Each structure stands twice: as C-alpha cells, then as structure tokens.
A and B are shown apart, each in its own frame.
Chain A
Amino acid sequence: AQKVTQAQTEISVVEKEDVTLDCVYETRDTTYYLFWYKQPPSGELVFLIRRNSFDEQNEISGRYSWNFQKSTSSFNFTITASQVVDSAVYFCALSEVNYGGSQGNLIFGKGTKLSVKP
C-alpha cells in the first residue's frame, strides 16, 4: 500500500546544530515523485524540493540537503547549522505516477515538528 511515514513527531534542537528529518515511503509504483514541504507557524505550505524515482543523486541547496535512497525507500532531509527561522512542521509527500499521480495527487506523511531554540 502507498504510504509515507515520518516517525519523528517532534524534534527540538539548539541553533547551529545539524538536524535530519526522516522520511520512509511505501509505493506500488515504479515511477513516482517525492516532495518535501515546509509549514511555518503562519500556516502556509511552502514547496522545498521534488525528486523523481529515477534520480538518486543527493541534492544540496544552501543549508538544506536531501538524501534519496531507493534501496531503503527513504528520502531524508538534513538542515545544517539550523536557525530559529527553520522552526516549522516539515512534510514529506509521495506522488505515484500510475496511481493518481498523473493528476498530481499527493500522499502526505504526518509531518515532523522542528523547534530550533536560540
């Protein structure tokens, strides 16, 4: 069954610490996309990254990096030198191309609440 699991419900770190948010997915499809979204306290959802199932290259964007491993069905997100502004709920999501993904349907994990303390 298709599913996204974010086992860490809440994480608290002190500013400048590195933190990794875990995402494990289950899919019945061979072609799929994975996403990370950020939901700050203001409530809106902000797109961070998209990855397709054929591209296992890691990606780095400033202090953010993502590690995609098909062998373990994981798509983990690391924030280096965390800042207070990183405090938010982070969602991992899956889109299965052949099972609703062609309409862009997203399957969300429950989210990880990250608190960065000064």
Chain B
Amino acid sequence: NAGVTQTPKFRILKIGQSMTLQCTQDMNHNYMYWYRQDPGMGLKLIYYSVGAGITDKGEVPNGYNVSRSTTEDFPLRLELAAPSQTSVYFCASSNRDRAFYEQYFGPGTRLTVT
C-alpha cells in the first residue's frame, strides 16, 4: 500500500522554466490537496480538489495550476518559475466521509528556483 506518492523528490529550476509536480494516491480518496511549506513556516494550501474534474483555489494559488482528470492523480503545474516558489511541496489526500479526519501526506518535493 503506497499511500500518497510524489515525484520528483528534488528539483532545481531556472527562473522562467516550467514543471509539473506529480502526485498519486492509491487509497481511492476523493479529496486531494497541494500545500507549500516555506522555511520556519507552517503549510499553506495552494489548491485542492473534491473529486475528479473539480478543483478550487486555496490560500496561495498564484503561479500554479492544477488538474484532476482521475481520482488517483492530482498534478501541480508551475508556469514561469520564480524564486518565490522555492519551497517544499506536499500533496495530501483524505476520504470524503472522513473529510475532517486526518489527511495523508506524501513525502514532499523540494524545489529550488534560481
């Protein structure tokens, strides 16, 4: 049982480049989330999805895009990377029936934009 997987683990981008952070969960959870964690800070919600085909903005969506074509996958797209997007990115999922219960987190992707 893999849970929530994220790829890549590490990435260095040049300013202006684009990339997609991959997230997959195998728990059949309908809720999925993307967070970013800046040094010394808690996690902040970027985007979330309540099911395939449905996404919505969180607290810090600017500079990112998401899609949810399947229950399992929730990729995060960075367009025109900027140094302010240097962060650790976490994907998480939860079950609708337990929407207030624990979110299961992936291992994170450490992104540096230089």
Contact = CB atoms under 8 A, between A and B. Distances in A.
Interface of A: 4, 9, 33, 35, 37, 42-47, 50, 52, 91, 93, 95, 97, 101-106, 108-111
B56 interface: yes
B48 A104 contact: yes
B103 A108 contact: no
Given A103-B50, A105-B58, A111 B42 contact: yes
A16 B57 CA distance: 44
Nearest to B43: A108
B48 A52 contact: no
A50 B101 contact: yes
Chain A interface mostly: mixed
A52 B100 contact: yes
B40 A110 contact: yes
B48 A50 contact: no
B97 to A, nearest CB: 11
Interface stretch (B61-69, B75-83, B104-112): B104-112
A47 B42 contact: no
Contacts of B56: 103
Nearest to B48: A103
Q: Which of A91, A95, A103 has the most CB of B within 10 A?
A: A103
Nearest to A92: B42
Contacts of B102: 35, 47, 50
Contact of B107 (A4, A43, A106): A43
Given A35-B102, A104-B100, 13 more contacts: A37-B105, A45-B90, A45-B92, A47-B104, A52-B100, A91-B42, A91-B43, A95-B100, A103-B48, A104-B31, A104-B48, A109-B42, A111-B42
